[in-house]
Structure 1
Amino acid sequence: MTQRGLAILFLSLFGMLTCFSQVAPDCINAIPICYNTPINAGTNGYGIDDFNGASVSGCFTQASGTIETNSAWYRFRTGESGQLGFNIGHDSNEDWDFALYNTTDCNDLGEPVRCNYFDNSDNSDFIGVGVDPTGADNIQYEDWLEVEPGQDYYLLINNYSNNNSGFSIQFSGSIFVEFPNSALDCDIIDNLLGPPIIACDNENVVLDATTDNALGYEWYIDLGTGYQRIPNENGAQLSVAVSAMYRVLVIRPLGNNLISETQVAYAPSPVTYEVADSTACFDGTAIDLTLKDEEALGDQSTFEFRVTYHSSVEDAIDGIDPLPKSYVPSALTETIHVRTTSLENGNCFDVSESFEINSVALPELDFPTRIYECGEAPVATIGEETPDPNYTYEWSTGETTPMITVDQSGVYTLSVTNAANALQCVTVKSIEVVFSKPPVITDISIEYEDDLANTVRVYVETDGNLAYQLDGEEPQENATFHDLFPGEHTITVIDLNGCGSDSKKIVVLGFPKFFTPNADGINDTWHVAGLDILDNPIISIYDRYGKLLHQLHKNSNGWDGSFNGVLLPESDYWFKLSYTDSLGQTTHAAYINNHFTLKR
């Protein structure tokens, strides 16, 4: 059966001994197909040339003087709107082809609306329109038909093989799901006994030939060897017990007797065997329901019956919304209803059995995936604070308690097992432990390139996940700052794991690296920029031996390179800075112990 529709007509191609249905090799005598007509036929040659010597019709071309070889013609009329397809089953070793014409006149067939002329090199069992019922990707299938009521079709089936094991026809498509009894119009069959009947083998079929003014009735049966009189059956009705062709002779007073024939084919009614309950982990993993098919079918053949699974008994009875064979449970406990259906007749089914899927819950772990611990002595307790006594616990360290204490940074993995009904359902979760210490600034260097160009580097006691901040601005990853303006600044080092921070105040000055006190009006004095923003700043200048030579204040004009009126020699000189901080205390600026050059 296809995934997109219900196939309602199918007779076993090789196991039936009740004789082939009637076959018409000519279009004008095409066999009418009604909604439940069982088609199980063979072909042998062809009659008249329905294409009047034409060499091509759609995908068909002349094979040996004519388009037709071993041909069979059928016709049907649609009774509803919807999607329609059909499957032509045959021996996989034989080569069958088909063409479908949308017409009411065999003398005006036109071009086929569907046509397939591929050889059977893939040894498939079916050709047709729609989808291969086995689920195979079959190039010998054409697209679905979208039909409206009252459309007439003629179907030509050709056998290009030397062998002829026969064929079957089954119809499919959504039209048969919505309108199983009226998808094909039975008015095209004008027959006293009505159209052929396909029934379940547990049904009672009664043929009714009631005719006004009838003098009597004679009933005949053909089991494949010709019609034989049924003894003692002379009423207007006949209860049918076996698959066969049936004929009635209605005897009338004026001798204008009636003869009517029909076919009755019984399809086997399935029995669904007991299906065992299943247990699965409730972790989103699919259950393969095809493994249940064998249990449900027992000794019944998969070539005769199909098993589907449904979430409700109503869906199973209606044959709708089958669960996917790769099914993911949606609740911890579910009842699955089993439907076993005859492939010959979708109306023959059994929904007497169901089974339970009992899922085992996965342990739920709610501890975080990462923690940060701050302190001089690193230690942390991790894991499940509210463990389940029915679960077992195992850490990547080998410990088997719900919680453990660790003293090393790293990733620790916990496996928690819920065991039930010989099934072990495991949840695995890892946690990263990061130990941090509060950052400590050990040093800050300030390197001066010229009057305003400078580089400030921050040194810390230990490395870590740190950020560096200047004067409360956006933190940065780099521990170096460039070209700070002269004046007081605050450097802060922040531990990004939440383990505190450390801050230091620095003073950045702007000063020339050298001066030339030669009275030429250029660089005659050495001075320091930025003092005006400090409170009571004092720059103390020393020679290389540490002797205090001169002091500059906020409003000083600079140093002229002399000591007590005596010009000092060309050399390097050092300086320090003191000022009054925000607490009113005299402070010697840290990280300032720099030098400059006096040139003559």
Structure 2
Amino acid sequence: MKKILLFCFIIYSQIGLSQNPNDCSNAILLCGDTDLGITPSGIGTDEFALPGNPTPICYDFRADQVWFRVEIETTGIFSFVLTPDTAQADYDFAVFGPVNDCNNLGAAIRCSSTNPSAAGVTGDTGLNDLETDVNEGPGQLGNGFLQELTVNAGEVYYIIVGLAIGQGGFSLSTSGSADLPPSPTANPVADQDVCDDFGLQDGFREFDFTPLDVDILLGQTGVSVTYHESLNDANIGVNALTFPYANTSNPQEIFVRAIRNDSDCTDYTEFIITVDDTTVVTDADPVIICSENATESFDFETIIDVLVPNSANFNVTYHLTEADAENDLNSQGSSFTATLVEETYFIKVIDPTGLSCEYVISAPLFVANPPAIATPQDLFLCDDDFDGFLNLTLSDQNMEVLNGLDPTLHQVQFYSSSIDRTGNQNALGTSITTTQNPQRIYVRVTENRTSCFEDVAYSITVRPRPVLGVQDDIIVCIDPVAPTRVSVASGFDFYEWSTSEMGANLNAIDIDQPGDYTVTVTNNFGCESSLTITALPSDIATLDDIITEDFRNGDNTAQFIVSGPGEYEFSVDNGPFQNSNFFSGLYKGFHRVRIRDKNGCGTLTQQFVVLDYQRFFTPNGDGFHDYWTFDGLSRFPDAIIYIYDRHGKLLHQMAPEGVGWDGTFVNNPLPSSTYWFTLQIPNKPLVKGFFALKR
């Protein structure tokens, strides 16, 4: 019969290296027709560092590994198959023997390190009757299997298995005609369902499992039985339970180890212990009676089916003390008087059929008064955006509602209707937007410990804010002759300006400076609105430059470059005002420009000159055009004018402030002809031209 043995070696480091099967000295003994599963962990002691243990030629075995000991009972053939849990995990092995101990293993008589993936084979490996080679690998050499062993009774062999590549455990099955030491049989036993000891009734009690030995062995001799809390402990044979033993969890699995007294051959089984029915609740939630009274009567019969499902099938009694309940003494009626002080009563439950364990339920009972809260005052709030509704934080009312109660011990919830509050549904969040005006808010305060509650309600009325019409910007002169009036709608209760002026009727103020002027208006509800009126600056213009184009024979031009905060219009020689600062068709001589601020902040008047000369003159003494002149040249006292005849002879040097040239040379009249001139004004281009003298 094959035995399935499951081993786990993850915790060996906690119990000492002497117990670790990755050491040769602690090799697992293969017994009978073994079929086991195992996950190697750790490399253990380096046996191949000993002089009598040369490293196998196919692999150095310095990875997760496990050792097995094979004791031959009868002469014959020994073979095995190793199958990885994970496909193509690369498990390598080596066989040594026959040997006496782990210090003198000698050279490996079988060694396999074929890589399944490289060789294109499965991860299975071992010894069988089909192969003739005794070594293979590494890499793609071989198929994973080697020639089986011919063995003699009394010989001992060692097998090392190492995980070269991959992960996961493996299963190992032995076969062949040679017999291995016989295994014991750990026969299964039924799970143990027992009742709790009276006392705490906490699902824990003491056990003695030794009476189970008979059922586990079923007549086997020379076999010992131990009980363990974990499969690891059972596999290794450590930490055997001593009796009486108290369970550590409920339910709990117990592992049984059966080991032959004449060898290390073992077998394992397990069973589960359960103390009482894990669905039974013996510590009932407190029964809390929410009442304004100090005492109330309560009948446990009203909730017995909640505490004891199908209570009609049980014998139920009520007691004042736990000792009375456990000992079935001093039974009481089911009704008790609850007070403001918590009292615990005890309910004994007995199954008359004896199939279920009897138990005692602890049932606390007390009266809790509703929380003493306050009704908050109705809220009258000002609208924030003129729509009649408001965003507000309901939790701002918590402190007023709680009336001094600890907010960490109470829950405050808000509802939009009494129906929602009664049904404890659709609770509002801490922040809401009102949906009607006025709106009623329903409040419930619940004490966290008792779930007792008290209800109140209050109203929220959203009052309108003053409506102020938006105003366009106004203009204020920088140096005004008179102040400018700023005003908003009248009829409100109070006005406060950013100038610190305020009053019940002060809807208008006078200003004399540009800037932003804010007024806050309060209506009869005490609600406020603010409006800012911007006063933009304006001022008389500053004339920065006059750009003239002269000497154009009556079509001279002038452009006036101005600066200032205002908007300006222009007039020349009392002509109509125009927006353009450019004028053409100007004759020579003096002119007057007027530059007016369109916002009424003043007019700038300034004289300017257009330079031009006469194209002819008639010095005949009739009083008309008797002199050749330059109008406006008096503005340039440093100007120099030279007059020449057609041959370039200098005839006259004319002063800017003089009356002009009378057409003579050395007091002798010159004849009618064309004459030339040059005009030099500092910092201006030289001007040349000609004119006619007519007699």
- The normalised TM-score by structure 2 is 0.36
- The normalised TM-score by structure 1 is 0.41
Determine which structure has more spread, i.e. the larger CA radius of gyration: 2
Higher-helix-fraction structure: 2
